[in-house]
């Protein structure tokens, strides 16, 4: 079957993508690794000993970055609806974050630890209808924020991918109620045509 023009364009972009080549060279599973690395370079979120939850972790590039940076004294706990090949130093559960029994199992995995950092690169399956996709995306973001509210230690941080749309301001307001400071980040590895940005909540109240 012939590829569509849009899929040919995506393939050409992907093949020529600087970050795709870097990921292969550096051993990361996806170009998304460089988004987290750039944000961390600026905001110093992950240090040796940090306890991290990675929501929407598959294929595992953010978990790879986090596990490398937290070192032997830190811990990384990861969750995704998709399978993820093991990452050394990462405890992973496969399941749907929206389901209570999956969330309960993940909380049990934490073993009562308070988290220093919650990172969420979750995105819904895209339907192609922007209003539906936006609503699904913000539902996941709100669940991630609820999780951060319940499990971050005071002073902890929360990094979440959001898509700019009608729900953006209300979500931003909810984050500002929980964190001392909320800033936006658009890393260079985020494609220009994407309307994704990352919101970083610093200093859980």
Let me know if 161 is a catalytic residue.
Answer: yes
Burial class (CB in 10 A: 0-12, 13-18, 19+), 3: exposed
Prior bond of 59 cis (ω within 30°)? yes
Options 161, 173, 186, 188, the catalytic residue: 161
Sign of CA dihedral 18, 92, 126, 137: negative
> Is 133 annotated in some ligand binding site?
no
> Is 121 annotated in some ligand binding site?
yes
> Is 100 annotated in some ligand binding site?
no
Q: What's the CA gap between 97 and 118, in Å, rounded?
A: 14
Question: What is the biggest distance separating any 2 CA atoms in the chain, rounded to whole angstroms?
Answer: 55
Mind giving me the DSSP string for 141-164?
Answer: HHHHHHHHHHHEEEEEEEEEEEE-
Tell me which H or E stretch contains 179: strand 179-185
> Is 104 annotated in some ligand binding site?
no
> Is 62 annotated in some ligand binding site?
yes
**Binding site listing for S-adenosyl-L-methionine:** 60, 62, 80, 96, 121
**Binding site listing:** 60, 62, 80, 96, 121
Q: Give the catalytic positions in this structure.
A: 161
């Amino acid at each position: 079957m012939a590829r569509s023009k849009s899929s040919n364009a995506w393939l050409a972009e992907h093949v020529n993508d600087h970050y795709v080549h870097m990921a292969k060279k550096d051993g990361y599973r996806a170009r998304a690794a460089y988004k987290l690395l750039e944000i961390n370079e600026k905001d110093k979120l992950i240090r040796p000993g940090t306890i991290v939850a990675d929501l929407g972790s598959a294929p595992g590039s953010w978990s790879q970055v986090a596990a490398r940076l937290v070192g032997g004294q830190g811990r990384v706990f990861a969750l995704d609806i998709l399978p993820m090949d093991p990452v050394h130093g990462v405890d992973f559960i496969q399941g749907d974050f929206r389901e209570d029994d999956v969330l309960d199992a993940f909380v049990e995995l934490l073993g009562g630890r308070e988290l220093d950092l919650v990172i969420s690169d979750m995105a819904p399956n895209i339907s192609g209808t922007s209003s539906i996709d936006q609503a699904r995306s913000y539902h996941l973001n709100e669940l991630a924020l609820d999780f951060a509210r319940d499990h971050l230690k005071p002073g902890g941080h929360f990094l979440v991918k959001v898509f700019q749309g009608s729900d953006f301001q209300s979500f931003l307001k909810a984050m500002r109620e929980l964190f001392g400071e909320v800033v936006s980040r658009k890393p260079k590895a985020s494609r220009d045509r994407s309307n994704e940005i990352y919101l970083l909540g610093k200093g859980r109240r």
